[in-house]
Amino acid sequence: MSAESNHWSSYWESGSITSLPQDFQDNYDGEIGAFWESQFESLNSNSIILDLCTGNGAIALLAQSFSLKFQKEFNVIGVDAATINTAAIVKNKPHLSELLNRVNFISNCRVEDIDLTSESVDLITSQYGIEYCDWKLVAERVFDLLKPNGEFAFISHAQSTDIRKTMCEEQRQYMFLNELKIFTLVNSYYNHKKSFGLTLKKLKSAETKLQLAQKSISSQLYASVLQFLQYILQLDKARMTTEKRQIVSFCEQHVFAYKRLEDILNVSEKIASVPNWYQVFESAGLSLIASGDVLQGGLHKAGVYYQFKKKDDR
Ligand SMILES: C[S@@+](CC[C@H](N)C(=O)[O-])C[C@H]1O[C@@H](n2cnc3c(N)ncnc32)[C@H](O)[C@@H]1O
């Protein structure tokens, strides 16, 4: 597992199926689910589907579910740079065990480095994924892997979604927590860089500031960190040692959550600054067949879809 993927690996280890668990608990449904079904409909039996930046395999699982329902015998591969542990998914969602066994996960692998046979894939998919990669390298890889007449469909993050607004607010809250240095203080204590007394004094002062902030915005994130602080502040030195694993893990989870937020927001900004970024796939030789907004619940813009074809010019 590369250090740059740790924040995603840690998330997928929690067993969530999608990267938006509040909105999609079991898997993408509604308009997003319908978009993916429409991509699978035109495929023949035994088709090969490759899902890029698959995470815990949301789209790969939708493909296998469709395949089972319509006896299509799809062969589905999911690739991600992070570590994907199917045992952790099954622990969280036991009912998905059979479907998961039907997906061939290639984890700890950047899409740019996929080592599969040229012209071997019928459909390449990606949900909130491809935009995180090196666009030019990935476009070349996608073109090479697709069979002639094969298709590439993806949904990317969209600008100005409600999801994005919520994330920006969460980012502001994390920035305030960073200013308070709560997680850094705890780490410095365990790394023997700060004394017990000084650490508690600084954490106490952070607690006071966080309580004040909580009064003005009432945030779930602040509430959970306040609860954590109140817990730590009543521990003695010996208990700080026995409870080390849970305390460090709490801090690590938040540091990773902040990194994921930054990833998502940075990517959204990158797309916004190059609105025609998808043309990189045309430059690599693919033809754009369709694109448009994906609304969720008929109202909220959840993403932008693109469909490309590798036209058979032979
Ligand atoms: C927002 S998540 C989306 C995951 C999944 N498609 C979903 O919708 O639930 C983005 C994923 O892209 C992966 N990723 C980022 N850059 C990558 C790369 N260059 N190659 C492979 N995976 C990458 C991350 O590890 C993460 O799992």
- Do 191 and 129 lie in one domain? The reply is no
What Cα–Cα distance (Å) separates residue 281 from each residue in 118, 130, 229, 275?
Answer: 17, 11, 49, 14
Contact 4, 83 (CB under 8 A): no
Q: From the CB of 129, is ligand 1 less than 6 Å away? A: yes
Ligand 1 centre distance from Cα of residue 221 (Å): 24
Query: CA angle, corner 59, sides to 148 and 51, nearest 5?
Result: 40
- Do 224 and 296 lie in one domain? The reply is no
- Do 100 and 227 lie in one domain? The reply is no
The closest-lying atom of ligand 1 relative to the alpha carbon of residue 11 is 27
Ligand 1 centre distance from Cα of residue 92 (Å): 20
The count of domains in the chain is 2
Q: What is the pTM of this model?
A: 0.92
What is the residue with the minimal CA distance to atom 9 of ligand 1? 18
- Do 123 and 25 lie in one domain? The reply is yes
Spatial distance between the Cα atoms of 27 and 57, rounded to a whole number of angstroms: 9
Q: What is the CATH number of the domain that holds 12?
A: 3.40.50.150
- Do 51 and 168 lie in one domain? The reply is no
- Asked if the structure places residue 271 within a domain, the reply is no
- Do 288 and 239 lie in one domain? The reply is no
Mutate to test the pocket of ligand 1, among 52, 132, 267 (most ligand atoms within 8 A of CB): 132
Domain range spanning residue 200? Answer: 162-266
- Asked if the structure places residue 256 within a domain, the reply is yes
pLDDT digits over 242-286, tens only? Answer: 999 999 999 999 999 999 999 999 999 899 899 899 999 999 999
- Asked if the structure places residue 314 within a domain, the reply is no
Ligand 1 centre distance from Cα of residue 55 (Å): 6
- Compute how many other C-beta atoms are within 10 angstroms of the C-beta atom of residue 263: 14
Q: From the CB of 110, is ligand 1 less than 6 Å away? A: yes
What is the mean pLDDT for each group of 10 consecutive residues in the chain (314 residues)? 79 92 86 97 97 98 98 97 96 95 97 97 98 98 98 90 81 96 95 91 97 94 97 96 96 94 92 94 98 87 94 80
